[in-house]
Structure 1
């Protein structure tokens, strides 16, 4: 294929640091001529863009296919949560209804009215649902995909959008087979049969190379729920890919590790904006009590990793264990309210050592490494944040393991 084009290089840069090559060059020039204060406005602008970038995922299909239940599963909410999408066996949605992620409010799942319902015929549906606003479409069915589903897929494709076929409530099919035949033990074979049948019918409807995911919104660890999320992640680009991963429910250690990798790429920006350390005498350092950027960064890590009180409460309820019992499985002062006192209790002073140029080259863009390894205050703050993220990641992994084992 030859060398990468300039647009590919920009995309690659943005995927790791949100900055174009031109912006990185400006950071270098500004820093060398006017110091760290001169680069802060651009970094603040990029963080604001990151926080304001919206991801809109539409969930559509006929009435009663489990759209609302799926949306709740993607947001990590039980149906009893006040913020949960309403679910039921009758049509509960009469217009597109958006549901924000409980902690990342720029991520929205949209429950679209069931196509083919009394109010929304197929033709009217395509014109009224404002298809262009959505980044991805998930078409859900509980049986074979119908003609209305095919029409939707073709319209979505015409708009240049990505769509995914999801066969929901798959556990109900398997339970029915077990009831009919108590000796039924061919689950994988039956799943393959259902998948092949769906794919074949879609091909007959001229849907080329369709992918069908068999899921249970109640048993997310089984079937194709994780595979669907991995496919969505692959198809999203740059910032939207990152915020999608950060919004995923913590179903496994693998997801926690993906979140860590993304958050680790945020650290240098927060370190640049977090100001001066109070004092830095070797390991006996102190922090200024009003270091809001540092605290905000750690709160962001905490929420993204599902360690804020609200996320832990939801996980505890799902696993059927007391919240305090779940918290007791980890030993870190970074649960609950984050303060400079809590950060100091971690004794990060012992870990605050000069980071090598090689480490910067690996963890950051080489240009950024050449800039910021010259600034001792940045280096100290960078290492504090890196140590805090490592601590929170380890805690999140423990919490997920305990909750999954209990569940």
Structure 2
């Protein structure tokens, strides 16, 4: 439940995302002996591995703590949306139920039955819930953390997995206080709730527990962003990538994080689309595999929440007309991506004069030295960079309009 070491962080900045030094050495060796065509299978294998990487997040706690609502919130869904976890005032979950992310189905949230129920006593809980399946656990309480929560956390810790204490429904607590006292000091009352949770956990044997206070209906308030940052920081490089890309676009900061991650994928798409067999795009002085280029752009658009379904969900969550959000997206990014769209947006024309030397200056040195001289790779890389820039700017404007942020 801590961040990466300084050496790990340095390694991540000096090498392309998700490759080990051994894999990079093999890439270079294969390129030197067989060119781009010999490197492509290695890149295809890595892309497949990334696409197939699973992230399984278990959400548990006693009945009525808001597990299902939390799962829906993390997936950018409301309880009435297709595929949403069932929400109720009684125990609606009788066995582990997995809910895939609507855009990245390899990210799956698991709604577990409440611990301590007659059917699932604490002593048998982890065995029944298939403990090894999950990357980490989120333990939710809507009131105070109870003995059963503490027992579960200790067992999770003993078995070497991370867990997080989440106190939900703090918006309900504050509203109840306002009804009774009319005027309250919100910061002071939240401090009391946090202190009470920490005191109970210390009594249960946790020396320095961290508790996140959240409302699943008001993710821009309280500790929701802090929780997401904590989860992100404790994941390895590959799983961190898919966790961030799966977050709903609730802030400009999230959009920018997604942009950084997607940038690290561009060189792989460029490798796959460049090389032998590449053909010029009509109207653009660029040789590439247009199917791969268009597929990459569509992928970027979905991850940045600019597809129709994501925009509709965001509009409903923010209480804004979806037309207002779509008006912030650079035309014609909303429609079908075709070679004609690439020409109209000027992505290809803007890069045809870029030199390999300029390219090497803003790219990862290890890979830049291998591919810097390949014109089709270079052109595809710059085209996708321009496309991602336009998509990120559009996503940023959409978020600002949705939540009226500066």
Tell me which interval the TM-score lies in, with the shorter structure as reference length.
over 0.9
SS of corresponding position for 1:163: strand
Query: 1:264 — aligned with what?
Result: 263
Query: 2:135 — aligned with what?
Result: 135
Query: 1:168 — aligned with what?
Result: 168
**Which blocks of at least 5 consecutive residues in structure 1 are unaligned?**
none
Following TM superposition, by how much is the alpha carbon of 1:127 offset from its aligned partner in structure 2, in angstroms? 1.8
Query: 1:311 — aligned with what?
Result: 310
Given the superposition, is the C-alpha separation of residues 102 and 321 from structure 1 closer, same or farther in structure 2, using an over 3 Å criterion? same
Following TM superposition, by how much is the alpha carbon of 1:10 offset from its aligned partner in structure 2, in angstroms? 10
Query: 2:84 — aligned with what?
Result: 84
Following TM superposition, by how much is the alpha carbon of 1:359 offset from its aligned partner in structure 2, in angstroms? 5.4
Following TM superposition, by how much is the alpha carbon of 1:175 offset from its aligned partner in structure 2, in angstroms? 0.5
Query: 1:20 — aligned with what?
Result: 20
CA deviation vs aligned residue, 1:145-203 (integer Å, no higher than 9, x gap): 0010001000100111000000000001101111111122x111111121122112111
Compare 61-70 and 108-117 and name the one that shifted more: 108-117
Q: Distance in 2 between matches of 1:330 and 1:250?
A: 15
Following TM superposition, by how much is the alpha carbon of 1:285 offset from its aligned partner in structure 2, in angstroms? 2.2
Query: 2:377 — aligned with what?
Result: 378
Given the superposition, is the C-alpha separation of residues 297 and 205 from structure 1 closer, same or farther in structure 2, using an over 3 Å criterion? same
Following TM superposition, by how much is the alpha carbon of 1:319 offset from its aligned partner in structure 2, in angstroms? 2.6
Q: Distance in 1 between matches of 2:347 and 2:114?
A: 53
CA deviation vs aligned residue, 1:19-45 (integer Å, no higher than 9, x gap): 111111111111122111110000000
Query: 1:96 — aligned with what?
Result: 96
Query: 2:178 — aligned with what?
Result: 178
Number of matched pairs: 398
Following TM superposition, by how much is the alpha carbon of 1:209 offset from its aligned partner in structure 2, in angstroms? 1.8
**Which blocks of at least 5 consecutive residues in structure 2 are unaligned?**
none
Contact 2:99 2:108 in 1 (8 A): yes
Following TM superposition, by how much is the alpha carbon of 1:293 offset from its aligned partner in structure 2, in angstroms? 0.8
Q: Distance in 1 between matches of 2:354 and 2:12?
A: 28
Following TM superposition, by how much is the alpha carbon of 1:257 offset from its aligned partner in structure 2, in angstroms? 0.3
Given the superposition, is the C-alpha separation of residues 207 and 192 from structure 1 closer, same or farther in structure 2, using an over 3 Å criterion? same
Query: 1:225 — aligned with what?
Result: 224
Question: What is the 5 A alignment of 1:14-53?
Answer: 16-53=16-53
Q: Distance in 2 between matches of 1:226 and 1:9?
A: 22
TM-score by length of structure 2 reads: 0.93
CA deviation vs aligned residue, 1:288-307 (integer Å, no higher than 9, x gap): 7x621111111111111011
TM-score by length of structure 1 reads: 0.92
Query: 2:60 — aligned with what?
Result: 60
Q: Distance in 1 between matches of 2:392 and 2:245?
A: 13
Query: 2:202 — aligned with what?
Result: 203
Query: 2:401 — aligned with what?
Result: 402
Query: 1:151 — aligned with what?
Result: 151
Compare 396-405 and 120-129 and name the one that shifted more: 120-129
SS of corresponding position for 2:64: coil
Q: Distance in 1 between matches of 2:13 and 2:54?
A: 20
SS of corresponding position for 1:144: coil
Given the superposition, is the C-alpha separation of residues 400 and 94 from structure 1 closer, same or farther in structure 2, using an over 3 Å criterion? same
Contact 1:31 1:38 in 2 (8 A): yes
Given the superposition, is the C-alpha separation of residues 349 and 126 from structure 1 closer, same or farther in structure 2, using an over 3 Å criterion? closer
Does residue 110 of structure 1 match 2:76?
A: no
Q: Distance in 2 between matches of 1:234 and 1:156?
A: 19
Contact 1:355 1:373 in 2 (8 A): no
SS of corresponding position for 2:57: strand
CA deviation vs aligned residue, 1:273-316 (integer Å, no higher than 9, x gap): 013664489x952567x621111111111111011111111112
Q: Distance in 2 between matches of 1:121 and 1:15?
A: 47
Q: Distance in 1 between matches of 2:16 and 2:348?
A: 28
